[in-house]
Amino acid sequence: MNVLIVEDEISLAIEIAEFLKSERFLCDLAFTGIDASEKIAINLYDFVLLDLGLPDYNGLDLIKEARKNNSEASFIIITARGAVEDKVKGLDLGADDYLAKPFALTELLSRINAVARRKFKISNPDIVLGDFTVQIQPRKLLCKGSEVDLTKKEYDLLQYLVLNHNKVLTRHQLYEHIWGNMLDDQYDSNFIDVHIKNLRKKLNNHASTPWLETVRGVGYRISTGE
């Protein structure tokens, strides 16, 4: 998933990014509110980790602004501020969680995973699709009990579709959330089509995949029949 880290303490921002990258997240960094505002306006993020005490921006104002441009992003406030009113204001504006500094990176990861479970309505870590079972936490795909050999990006692509089941995801959305941000003139929609084709071929070698649907002219969808 794609994460924007908004933190003016550069060493901390880099530390968080390196940790999350080791956990297979994509990370962008913004050390100022202006930089964060520009990134949120043009890119899609699953999570925004936001320091309220920015030198050039009120973090609470950034939440308001970001909600207009990145309405599906989840916000976790990370700040040294301990005042109850800051926490309440942030949550009232739509932040999903609040983590006071200093914090353990493992706790941050746990908070992100908890928000993701709520966001994607995951009550069971195993998602069954026909003969396949997607195991979210160990990041595995099983078919009739046997593990299916997928590359990291193939699994990322499948999992993101599964998390957003019954929702049509455009090629542009899939690219940004799996491969990272890009400029429009660098985007090639065939890139996603090729990866979906390769993924579907691998899956069909094990069992049929009627639940992996192509929505002509738009993108792709995992249909769970709900």
Indicate the domain borders of the chain. Answer: 2-119, 126-222
Q: What is the pLDDT of residue 225?
A: 65
CATH among 3.90.1150.10, 3.30.465.10, 3.40.50.2300, 3.40.190.10 for 2-119:
3.40.50.2300
Rounded to whole angstroms, what are the CA distances from 213 to 129, 142, 166, 169, 209? Answer: 12, 19, 10, 11, 8
Give just the sign of the alpha carbon dihedral 7, 10, 11, 16: positive
Termini Cα distance of the chain = 24
CATH class of 126-222: mainly alpha
What's the whole-model pTM score? 0.77
Strands (E), 165-218: 169-170, 212-215
Average pLDDT of the residues in 98-114: 90
Q: What is the pLDDT of residue 83?
A: 62
